[in-house]
Homo-oligomer: A and B are copies of this chain.
């Protein structure tokens, strides 16, 4: 056993699922989703493209594994021990910054339904929803809504960041966006036009957390409303 282990580690440059996934993450971070090809990956690992298939089923599995690693690492750094509201803010910001640093994760997380990485996020949010005292039947809804807000907003932010190369000045970007919205047809887009100007003073982080708090407010209303109902009805 010790011998077997030593044997597999003897050449630390030998191929392994872990090394492949790490190299894939590097490639994704450097060159984006289109930068991850089996040929480029094989070149980086100094092997043939076919070798990768001995360790990994296909590209989908590779992307899922890469996402899982990145999400896992990001969540490991989030501190849960504050109040539920603060902990949820912490999780939200952790995910936000993780997707900002690895934009491809955002796309991957909802390409497929419920990959393990998404469950990890749901789990961490759900624990805080429980701590918040939400009734049992409402916890799933609450966690899901929080999760989809966090992921959507994170993805949106990351996508905006990578839209142009090189990334323009933040204020310029918002100005361009606001101007575009203001050019929309007044008959078709009255609401969108009416909020366009707010984009000019848009604070991503503040807006993001305001959304989280809006949902938290909804949760606390639902909780108080339903808390009177005993789990096992008396009659």
Q: A: which residues have CB within 8 A of B?
A: 107, 110-114, 119, 122-123, 126-127, 129-130, 137-145, 148-149, 151-153, 155-156, 159-160, 163, 177, 181, 184, 188-192, 194-195, 198, 207, 210-211, 214-219, 221-222
28 contacts between A and B (CB under 8 A): A110-B152, A114-B156, A122-B192, A123-B188, A123-B189, A123-B190, A123-B191, A126-B191, A126-B192, A126-B195, A137-B198, A138-B210, A139-B191, A139-B195, A140-B207, A143-B191, A144-B153, A144-B207, A145-B211, A145-B214, A145-B215, A148-B153, A214-B218, A215-B218, A217-B217, A217-B221, A217-B222, A218-B219
Q: Which residue of B lies closest to A145 (CB)?
A: B211
A198 contacts which of B127, B140, B159, B216 (Cβ < 8 Å)? B140
Q: Tell me which residues across on chain B come within 8 A of A190, comparing CB atoms.
A: 123, 127
Apart from A110-B156, A126-B191, A143-B195, what 6 extra A-B contacts exist at CB < 8 Å? A130-B191, A130-B194, A139-B191, A139-B195, A143-B191, A144-B207
| Residues of chain B contacted by A138 (CB below 8 angstroms) | 210, 214
Q: How many copies does the complex hold?
A: 2
What B residues does A181 contact at CB under 8 A? 119
Shortest C-beta distance, A133 to chain B (Å), equals: 14
Report how far A29 CA is from B151 CA in the complex, Å. Answer: 27
Name A225's closest neighbour in chain B (CB-CB): B217
Q: Which residue of B lies closest to A221 (CB)?
A: B217
**Which residue from chain B places its CB closest to the CB of A144 in the assembled complex?**
B211
The smallest beta-carbon distance between A143 and chain B, in angstroms, is 7
Give the 3 A-B CB pairs with smallest separation, nearest first: A218-B218, A126-B191, A148-B152
Q: How far is the CB of A168 from chain B (nearest CB, A)?
A: 14
A195-B139, A214-B142 as given contacts; A184 in contact with B119, CB under 8 Å: yes
Q: Max chain B CB contacts within 10 Å: which of A156, A218, A221?
A: A218
Q: How far is the CA of A139 from the CA of B192 in the complex (A)?
A: 10
B221/A189 in contact, CB under 8 A: no
- Distance, CA A214 to CA B138, complexed state (A): 9
